[in-house]
Amino acid sequence: MDTPAFHQGGDTALGFEWPGEDVSRVPFQVYTDQAIYDAEQARIFQGPTWNLLCVEAEIPNPGDYRTSYVGNAPVIVNRDETGRINALLNRCAHKGSLVCYKPHGNVRELTCVYHNWVYDLTGKLTGVAFKRGVGGKGGLSDDFDITQHGLRRLRVETYKGIVFGTFSDETPDFVDYIGGELAASIDRVMIKPLKVLGYHSQILPNNWKLYSENTKDSYHASLLHVFHNTFGIVRPSMGGGIKLSPNGWHHLSWTERVALEDQATTREKVRSLKDQYKLADPTMMAHKLELGDLVTNSIQSVFPGTVIQQIQNCLAVRQLVPRGVDKSELIWTILGFEDDDAEMIEHRLKTNNLVGPAGFISMEDGCVGGWVQQAAQSDPAGRTVMPMGGRTIEPSQGSRVTESAVRGFWKAWRECMHI
């Protein structure tokens, strides 16, 4: 894709100026400022970005729908009678009520409960209650054009069974958006039709961007997550690296059971509790090789708030929903393949104990963002510093000790925000 012009400097309407030229220092203000948060909704989430809506397997039949979000905008995703997937802003054209207030269901049409305006599954307004009034009195004004008041439609693309939506006509097609190399890494994991095994949802006590950064921050994985070193999913001595989309916006961090030739990294002291802790049920850590390689951990981000995850046999997509400047919601959809047998489903559900709000690995990520948020709130004029792996935005083969992908996030943020 063409990279949008990188606007230098500030935004007078927001009263905000990016300090310096590069993206290795981030002002705390971006995590606390309401005006910036509001601008992000328009410029990022409703701007030229693809956002996770659901997986196709959640809406297999005509009439199936589920509700979702793009940023703070509520969205309905459905499959219509032609089999096509529609994504509609979940906001009645009349007075703005939610049209679908249940998380999922199957319907022939969409009826707003407030005054019973009715839409078809493509979002077209097809009925208005009392449109001719009652007893010849009341009714719609003569100039009301029913064709002009449907539900706002989003563009939709499905990639390997994962459904994405965008509000913008300018967003490149999905594969161009993430680049061929990162598309291939989705192909690597999503090798068969998907099946939903369950969900986690958790409220994070921090601005959404702190979680987006966390998923791109491969530097912390073997340091913060003691479970990794103790039980061997990610260790600094393992092979792997970081891939970035050509524009730096999206990333993949992976680890594989292939020792690095350069063993210097193993001299780094990382916390491990292997002498103190044993798993009562070690079968949880069995890795059934199913993807044709020895990759133990593959965490892939799609800017701004989507994560596609393979941790051994634990597959998931994660959706990040901003809930205010200092709060966000993380929704995990836990996946398997349609043809999994009962034993494989049981195994995936066991490994799923690694993730989610109380996950043996993921629980720390639900905490550290809140600690940074506290710092940001107490000192919005302060700044973080991210010098690991230099100041540039480059892929890395072998080492994951880099903040390159996090700097890539801030490049994307600045380009979307025109800051």
Cα angle: 320, vertex 382, 242; to 5 degrees: 45
Which option in Fe ion, ligand FES, none does residue 23 bind, with CB closer than 5 to 8 A by kind? Answer: none
String of DSSP letters for 117-139: -EE-TTS-EEE-TTTT-BTTB--
Which H or E run includes 368?
helix 365-378
Residue from 23, 73, 92, 162 binding ligand FES (CB under 6 A): 92
Rounded to an integer, what distance in angstroms lies between the CA atom of residue 89 and that of residue 279?
46
Give the count of alpha carbons within 13 A of 331, CB side only.
Answer: 16
The one segment of 108-116, 188-196, 225-233, 250-258 that binds ligand FES by CB under 6 A = 108-116
Catalog residues that contact Fe ion under the rule CB under 5 A. 365
Q: Does residue 112 touch ligand FES according to CB under 6 A? A: yes
Give the count of alpha carbons within 13 A of 362, CB side only.
Answer: 25
Q: Least distance to ligand FES from the beta carbon of 145, Å? A: 17
Residue 230 has what DSSP assignment? H
Which of 138, 172 has the CB closer to ligand FES?
Answer: 138
Rounded to an integer, what distance in angstroms lies between the CA atom of residue 342 and that of residue 312?
18
Which option in Fe ion, ligand FES, none does residue 365 bind, with CB closer than 5 to 8 A by kind? Answer: Fe ion
Q: Least distance to ligand FES from the beta carbon of 63, Å? A: 20
Q: Helix or strand or coil: residue 394?
A: coil
Considering only residues 281-300, where is the footprint of ligand FES by CB under 6 A? none
Which of 91, 348 has the CB closer to ligand FES?
Answer: 91
Q: What are phi and psi of 291, to 5 degrees?
A: -110, 10
Q: Least distance to Fe ion from the beta carbon of 122, Å? A: 40
Which option in ligand FES, Fe ion, none does residue 117 bind, with CB closer than 5 to 8 A by kind? Answer: ligand FES
Residue 146 has what DSSP assignment? G
Which of 171, 352 has the CB closer to Fe ion?
Answer: 352
Q: Does residue 16 touch ligand FES according to CB under 6 A? A: no
Instruction: Name the residue type at position 69.
Output: Y
Q: Least distance to ligand FES from the beta carbon of 410, Å? A: 39
End-to-end CA distance of the chain: 20
Which of 56, 365 has the CB closer to Fe ion?
Answer: 365
Q: Does residue 117 touch ligand FES according to CB under 6 A? A: yes
Which option in Fe ion, ligand FES, none does residue 353 bind, with CB closer than 5 to 8 A by kind? Answer: none
Q: Which residues pair with 1 in a beta bridge?
A: none
Q: How many residues bind ligand FES (CB under 6 A)?
A: 8
Which option in ligand FES, Fe ion, none does residue 7 bind, with CB closer than 5 to 8 A by kind? Answer: none
Which of 16, 114 has the CB closer to ligand FES?
Answer: 114
Q: Least distance to ligand FES from the beta carbon of 101, Å? A: 11
Which of 86, 215 has the CB closer to Fe ion?
Answer: 215
Q: Does residue 95 touch ligand FES according to CB under 6 A? A: yes
Q: Least distance to Fe ion from the beta carbon of 164, Å? A: 23
Binding mask 179-198 for ligand FES (x = CB under 6 A): --------------------
Residue 91 has what DSSP assignment? S
Q: Helix or strand or coil: residue 299?
A: strand
Q: Helix or strand or coil: residue 67?
A: strand
Q: Helix or strand or coil: residue 318?
A: strand
Which option in Fe ion, ligand FES, none does residue 131 bind, with CB closer than 5 to 8 A by kind? Answer: none
Which option in ligand FES, Fe ion, none does residue 168 bind, with CB closer than 5 to 8 A by kind? Answer: none
Residue 278 CB burial class (10 angstroms; 0-12, 13-18, ≥19): exposed
Q: Does residue 115 touch ligand FES according to CB under 6 A? A: yes
Q: Which residues pair with 104 in a beta bridge?
A: 66
Q: Helix or strand or coil: residue 296?
A: strand
CB atoms near residue 368 (< 10 Å): 17
Which of 84, 115 has the CB closer to ligand FES?
Answer: 115
Name the E strands within 37-182: 51-55, 64-70, 73-79, 85-89, 104-106, 110-111, 118-119, 125-127, 153-159, 162-166
CB 127 within 8 A of CB 140: no
Q: Which residue ranges make up the site for ligand FES (CB under 6 A)?
A: 92, 94-95, 97, 112, 114-115, 117
